[in-house]
Amino acid sequence: MKAPLLLCLLATGLCAHLSAADITAEKTGTVIHFAVDGKTICDYQMEPGKVPEGVDAVFAHGAHLHPIYSPSGKLVTGNHPEDHRWHRGVWMAWTKTEFGDSHPDFWNMGKVGEKLAAEVRFEKLVQLTQNGFVSQHVFLDHSHARDEKVLNETWEVAVSQKTLDGTKTNVIDLTSTQTCAGERPLKLPKYHYGGLGVRGNLAWNPVEAVTMLTSEGHDRKAGDSTKAKWVHIGGEVDGAPTGMAILIHPSNFRFPQPLRLNPKNPQLCIAPSQDGDWAIEPGKPYVSKYRLLIFDGKPDAKWIDAQWQAYAK
C-alpha cells in the first residue's frame, strides 16, 4: 500500500479492499472490522468497548480480537462472560508477575474491585493495510503510581480466507512482540495460566457444550497442563459444529508450549509460565507467533497437523 493511501485510511477510516480475496478492512471508531464477501471474519477492538448492561464499567477492555467468525458466519469467541467478565475473545496478558515490589495482574482486569490495579491498554494504530494492521499496546501498573509502564507490546496481524486442503478457513496470523518499558524486568513466576488467552462462544458455557483437542491427541481433561504444537476449541453453534485451532509457532519460547484447558468454562490459555520461573528482560524482546484457523465442522487432527506443518516451515 502506498503511503498516501495508508495515511488517508488512518485519518478517515475508509475501507481498504483486497481485490484478490475480496477482503475489506474498515476502521470505524475504536474497531477495525475485517470481512469477506459481506461476512465478518473478525473485529479488532482497540480502545475499551461498551460493557453489557448491568456490568461495572471497570471491566471495559480493548486490545483484543472479538468477535471472530467461521466462514459460514458462526461465532466462535466470547466476551464479558458472567463467570469471568475480564475474558475478552483473543488476548495477550500475564497473571502472576513481579515488577519491583509490585505484582501487577494484567489478566484479571477489573476483578479486584472498584478500580483497575493493572491493565493492558491500546496505545496506537501504527499501520492499517488491506488485510491487517500493526498496533501498539502498553502494560500498565497502577498500584504505586498511575499509568506506570511495565511493557510495550506490538501486534502484527494479518487476516485472510483460504481453502486449505479442501476446507474453507478464516486465517488470522498474530505476532506479539513485548519489550520492557524501562530498565526493570517483568518477572514471571511459575503459574498455571497467563499468555495467549482464548474465550469460546458463550453458547459453550455448559461444561458438556465445548470440546478441546490437542496435537498430542488429548481432550479437555487430559490435555490440561500438557504441552502441544496446536490446540482446538469448538462446539455447536446453531445446531452445527464449528471452532478454532490455534497453531503454535516452533520459534516460540518453551515450544511445544504448555496449555491451560479450563475445566469449568470454554476458555484456554497457552501458558509458558507453567514450566517455571522466567522473565521478560530489558533489551530482550519476547516474541510470540500464533496462527488461528477458524473453520466449520468437527476438528480433523490430521488436517490440523498438516496445516501446522505448513505454518512451521
Residues 5-28 have pLDDT tens digits of 343 333 333 344 333 358 999 999
Q: Are strands 278-280 and 267-270 parallel, antiparallel or unpaired?
A: unpaired
| Identity at 186, one-letter amino acid code | L
The span from the CA of 36 to the CA of 71, in Å, is 9
Report the share of the chain in percent with pLDDT over 70. 92
**What does the pLDDT read at residue 16?**
40
Write down the pLDDT at residue 146: 86
Return mean pLDDT, the chain: 92
- 3-class SS at 98? strand
Q: Residue 128 is placed in which grid cell? A: 492499517
pLDDT at 248 over 90: yes
Q: Cell 478457513 belongs to which residue?
A: 169
User: What is the identity of the amino acid at 108?
Assistant: N
Round to whole Å and give the CA distance between 100 and 186: 8
At residue 112, the pLDDT reads 67
pLDDT in tens, 20-77: 358 999 999 999 999 999 999 999 999 999 999 998 898 999 999 999 999 999 999 9
Q: pLDDT value at position 142?
A: 94
Phi-psi sector, 85: left (phi>0), alpha (psi -120 to 50), beta: alpha
pLDDT digits (tens, 9 = 90+) for 152-181: 999 999 999 999 999 999 999 999 999 999
Query: End-to-end CA distance of the chain, in Å?
Result: 27
Residue 3, pLDDT > 50, answer: no
Positions of E strands within the chain: 15-18, 23-28, 31-36, 39-45, 64-68, 90-93, 118-128, 132-141, 148-164, 167-180, 186-188, 195-199, 210-214, 227-228, 230-237, 240-248, 257-261, 267-270, 278-280, 286-296
Residue 268: pLDDT band (50, 70, 90) is very high
CA–CA gap between residue 62 and residue 115 (Å, rounded): 16
Planar angle of CA 128, 67, 131, nearest 5 degrees: 25
pTM for the predicted model, two decimal places: 0.92
pLDDT in tens, 99-126: 999 999 999 988 866 678 999 999 999 9
Q: What is the structure's pLDDT at 66?
A: 98
**Residues 235, 232: Cα–Cα separation, whole Å:** 10
Q: What does the block give as the cell for 72?
A: 459460514
C-alpha cell at 291: 496462527
Burial of 207 (0-12, 13-18, 19+ CB in 10 A): exposed
